[in-house]
C-alpha cells in the first residue's frame, strides 16, 4: 500500500492530468505506476493502492493504453494481466503533441491561403497563429530528438527489461 508521501505524489499527478483535460483517475494511475514496485501492477493491485473502483480502473487503463502511456503485460505462469508505463510513453506523448501542433499550424496556413491578399488586419490573427505554432513545432521536434537520445542512453545503461 502507498505511504502518505506516495499518495500525495499520486494525487499531484491526478491534479496535473485534470489540469490538461485528462481524468484525475488516469493521472493517479500514471503517478502510481511511476512509483510502485514491482513496476507492473494488476487491476486488483491498482484498485487497492488507489482506492478506486474496478470499473474506473478498467476504463482508465483502456484510455491510457490507447494513448500509449500504459501497456498491458503478463508474467510467465500467471493468467492475470499487469500494467506498466510503456517504455517510450514520453516520446510518444511528445510525438502526438507535435502532430497536433503541426495540424494547427497547417490549418492557420490554409486559412491564410483562403484570405489571399486580404487586408493585413484580417490576416494578422492567422499569421500570428501560424508563426507561434511553427515555433512550437520546431521546439518540440528538437526536444523529441534529445528525448530519444536520452532514452537510448538510459536504455543502454540499464539493459533491457
Kindly report, residue by residue over 34-77, the tens digit of the pLDDT: 999 999 999 999 999 999 999 999 999 999 999 999 999 999 99
**How much is the average pLDDT of 6-11?**
97
**Among the residues of 37-119, which ranges form H helices?**
43-50, 54-66, 89-115
Question: Span 123-144, mean pLDDT?
Answer: 95
pLDDT at 159 over 70: no
Predicted TM-score (pTM) of the model is 0.82
Contact 29, 57 (CB under 8 A): yes
Give yes or no for residue 160 having a pLDDT over 70: no
Domains and CATH numbers, the chain: 4-85 (1.10.10.10), 89-158 (1.10.287)
Query: Can you point out the beta strands (E) in the chain?
Result: 41-42, 70-75, 78-85
The one-character DSSP state at 159 is -
- pLDDT at residue 161 above 60? no
Among residues 139, 37, 150, 151, the alpha carbon closest in space to that of 88 is found at 151
Alpha carbon 12 to its chain centroid, in Å, reads 15
Instruction: Give the chain's length.
Output: 161
CA dihedral 37, 42, 44, 48 (to 10 degrees): 20
Q: What are 22's three cell numbers?
A: 485528462
| pLDDT the model gives residue 3 | 93
Q: Please state, for a pLDDT cut of 90, what percent of the chain lies above it.
A: 81
What is the separation of C-alpha 139 from the centre of its chain, rounded to a whole number of angstroms? 18
Amino acid at each position: 500500500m502507498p505511504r502518505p508521501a506516495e499518495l500525495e505524489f499520486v494525487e499531484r499527478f491526478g491534479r496535473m492530468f485534470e489540469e490538461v483535460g485528462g481524468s484525475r483517475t488516469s493521472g493517479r494511475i500514471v503517478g502510481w505506476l511511476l512509483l510502485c514496485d514491482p513496476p507492473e501492477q494488476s487491476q486488483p493491485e491498482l484498485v487497492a493502492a488507489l482506492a478506486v473502483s474496478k470499473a474506473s480502473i478498467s476504463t482508465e487503463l483502456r484510455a491510457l493504453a490507447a494513448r500509449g502511456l500504459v501497456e498491458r503485460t503478463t508474467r510467465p505462469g500467471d493468467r492475470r494481466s499487469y500494467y506498466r508505463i510503456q517504455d517510450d510513453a514520453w516520446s510518444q506523448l511528445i510525438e502526438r503533441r507535435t502532430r497536433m501542433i503541426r495540424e494547427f499550424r497547417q490549418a492557420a496556413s490554409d486559412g491564410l491561403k483562403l484570405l489571399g491578399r486580404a487586408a493585413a488586419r484580417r490576416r494578422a490573427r492567422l499569421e500570428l497563429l501560424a508563426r507561434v505554432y511553427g515555433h512550437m513545432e520546431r521546439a518540440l521536434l528538437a526536444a523529441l530528438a534529445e528525448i530519444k537520445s536520452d532514452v537510448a542512453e538510459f536504455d543502454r545503461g540499464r539493459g533491457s527489461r
